[in-house]
Amino acid sequence: MSAVIEARVVGLRRAHPAWGPSRIVWQLERDGIDSLPGRSSVYRALVRHGLVEAKKRKRRREDYRRWERGRAMELWQMDVMGRVHLAGGLEVKVVTGIDDHSRFVVCAKVVLRATARPVCQALSEALARHGVPSQILTDNGKVFTARFGMGPGPVMSGPDLRGQRHPAPADRPVLADDDREGGAAAQDDAAGVLHAEGPDVRHHP
């Protein structure tokens, strides 16, 4: 941007404090200015003269680092998705599971209530169908963290994806709920498969 055009930009801004870079560029084009500057050039000129406050640059897409496991079956991510309504208005839950590397959906089971019995059954079916992954990552939902107070389950700890250790107390079950009678049996099924292969089941805050 030439000094003449920059002076014109500064003059327009001072005459019209509410005008931003895009509006100033539009006005310059309307005035027939040759070598029309871009919006970014106008913005930098306004910053240099203290007419606008510099904003922190937004991170570009390439600035973000995608993290994922190196191969399939190293990590499954389990969750329960709610607020799913059928055509008749009935609300259901979906127990979901996805392989972190391949993004393959290993579990997508519709249940009426996300209690221990149906959730453990969904996990057991996924394990039987696809095998046992090295690790399973869940959120802090009650059905995964045993806040309903059932007995201990097969939980181990290990380094998380950021290189830090994620806490997994020994008295924290894999899956638990207040549905004790049915949930205990279903939990035993899932626990049996898990104990056979010994995956690392951890909870993400």
Confidence of residue 176 (pLDDT cuts 50, 70, 90): very low
**Alpha-carbon torsion angle 38, 40, 45, 50, nearest 10:** 150
Q: Mean pLDDT across the chain, nearest whole number?
A: 75
DSSP string, 18-32: T--HHHHHHHHHHTT
Q: How many domains does the chain have?
A: 2
pTM value is 0.49
Which tokens is 56 given?
Answer: 């922190």
User: Residues 184-192: what's their mean pLDDT?
Assistant: 52
pLDDT one-digit tens code per residue, 53-72: 887 777 777 777 777 888 99
Neighbours of 72 (CB within 10 A): 17
User: Residue 197 pLDDT more than 60?
Assistant: no
Is the pLDDT confidence value at 173 over 50? no
Do 131 and 194 fall into the same domain?
A: yes
Do 123 and 171 fall into the same domain?
Answer: yes
Question: Based on the domain organization, do 190 and 100 belong to the same domain?
Answer: yes
Same domain, yes or no: 158 and 87: yes
pLDDT at residue 100 tops 50: yes
Task: Let me know if residue 68 belongs to a domain.
Answer: no
- Residue 64 in any domain: the answer is no
Q: Give pLDDT tens digits for 101-156.
A: 999 999 999 999 988 889 889 999 999 999 999 988 887 777 776 544 444 333 33
DSSP three-state, residue 1: coil
- Answer whether residue 23 is part of any domain: yes
Q: Which residue spans within the chain are E strands per DSSP?
A: 75-85, 91-99, 105-111, 135-138, 200-203
Q: Do both 128 and 27 map to the same domain?
A: no
Q: Is residue 81 part of a domain?
A: yes
Of 191 and 104, the one with more pLDDT: 104
What's 198's domain CATH number?
3.30.420
Give yes or no: residues 99 and 187 share one domain: yes
Please tell me whether residues 108 and 198 are part of one structural domain.
yes
The pLDDT value recorded for residue 66 is 72
Same domain, 45 and 142: no
Question: For residue 18, what are the domain limits?
Answer: 3-59
84 pLDDT above the threshold of 60: yes
pLDDT classification of 162: cutoffs 50, 70, 90: very low
